[in-house]
Amino acid sequence: MENENLKPLSIDFEEGVLKPLSLENEEELKPLSSNLNYEAPENFVPLAKAGGNDIKNKDSNFIFFFGTGESGKSVILSSMLYYLSSQAGVLRPKLGTPNTKEAQVLLSDFFENIRQGILPNRTTRDQVTRLDLVFEPNNKSKKVVPINLTFLETSGENHKDIRRGGSYHSSIETYLNANIPLTFIIVTSYTKAHEDDTLINEFLDELERKGKNLKSINVILVVSMWDKSGRMDVANTDELDSFIDERLSRTSQRVNTYNLSKTYYTIGNIQITNGQERITLLSLATAEILSNWLYTSIVGYDLDYEGTFWERIKFSFIN
C-alpha cells in the first residue's frame, strides 16, 4: 500500500465546536460478518456456553441425604423437621427464596401426615427436593443462634447411577460440584445395610474425587429402622459398632479411619394396615439426637447449651 493513500484522523473545528474524530473514507469500512457456512477444524473443540444450573441463594447450610430406595431418607427428614419445629424452636420457610411457597406446602404435608401416622411419599427420580428454611432455637443463650438450613433430598434410584464409576443426574451434580457448605447424612436401613456397603463406599469415593476431604466435612452414617431389631434403642454402646462392623465392613473402615459420626434411627412403632404402613406410636428420641448433631456440627454449640456463666446467673433470676 502506498503511503500517500493513508490519511490521518482529523479533528474539525467549526465555529468553536469540537467534533469527534472521524475517518474520511468511511464508505470503505465494512462491518464484521460471520460466515454461516464455516466449519470448525476436526481438531478444534468449541467451548460450550455456561448452562443455567447455577445454584441460587447459597447463603445457607446445605444438608444432602444419601441412600437407596426405601432406606428411610424421607422419614428421617420429615421427623427431624417435626422435632425442630415442635420441641426445639421455630422452623419456617426462608423468605425470598424461589421455592418459598413450595417449601410451605411440603412442610404442611410433612407435619400433617406425621401427625396422622402417615409415612411420607417417595422422592421423584431425577429431581432434587429442596427445602430452604430458617431455624430459630428456643434456647435463650446468645451462643445458640438462628441458622439457615437447606435440606436436599433425592431419589434412591438416582444414587444407584454412580455404581461402577457412573455419574449422577445433572440436578444432583450441580450441588455436589458447587462451592457451598455441605453436610452429608448417609442413610442405610437395619434390614438392607449389607446390600448398601459397596454403594456407600462408591459415594464416598465420589466425594473425594470432587475434592471434598472426608476428614474436614460433616458426615454421619445413620442406620434407620432400628426398631426392626426389636428395640427402640441400642442395648449398649457397642451394639451399633458391632452391627456396622458386621453388615458394613468396608464402610466401617471408612468411618473409623476418618472418625466419622454414626447413629441409629427409628420413628417408633409401625404397623401394616390394609397393606399400608402406618405409625402407631411416634418417637422423636432419635430425631432429637440427629438434629442436635446437625446443629452442633454447624454452629459449634449444642441446642441444649446451658449458656455462659453470666447467662446462667441471668437465667436463674428470670426463672
What are the pLDDT tens digits along the chain (319 aa)?
445 455 544 444 444 444 444 444 444 444 444 444 445 455 544 433 333 456 777 789 999 999 998 899 999 999 999 999 999 999 999 988 877 787 888 888 888 888 888 888 777 777 788 899 999 999 999 999 999 999 998 888 888 888 888 888 888 899 999 999 999 999 999 999 999 999 999 999 999 999 999 989 999 999 999 999 999 999 888 999 999 999 999 999 999 999 999 999 999 988 887 878 889 999 999 999 999 999 999 999 999 998 776 666 665 656 5
Contact 70, 153 (CB under 8 A): no
Contact 220, 262 (CB under 8 A): yes
Please state which CATH number belongs to domain 61-309: 3.40.50.300
3-state class (DSSP) for residue 102: helix
Residue 169 in grid coordinates: 443426574
Strands, E, within the chain: which ranges? 13-14, 17-18, 61-66, 89-93, 129-137, 147-153, 182-189, 218-224, 261-264, 268-273, 276-282
pLDDT for 40 equals 47
3-state class (DSSP) for residue 32: coil
Q: Where are the chain's structural domains?
A: 61-309
pLDDT for 124 equals 72
* Residue 79: C-alpha distances to residues 118, 248, 283 (Å): 11, 25, 9
Amino acid residing at 23: L
pLDDT for 317 equals 59
Buried b (16+ CB within 10 A) or exposed e, 75-90: bbbbbbbbbbbeebbe
pTM over 0.95: no
Beta-carbon contacts of 310 under 8 Å, excluding residues fewer than 6 positions away, are none
Q: Given CA atoms 141, 144, 148, 152 in this order, what sign does their dihedral have? A: negative
pLDDT for 301 equals 94
pLDDT for 73 equals 92
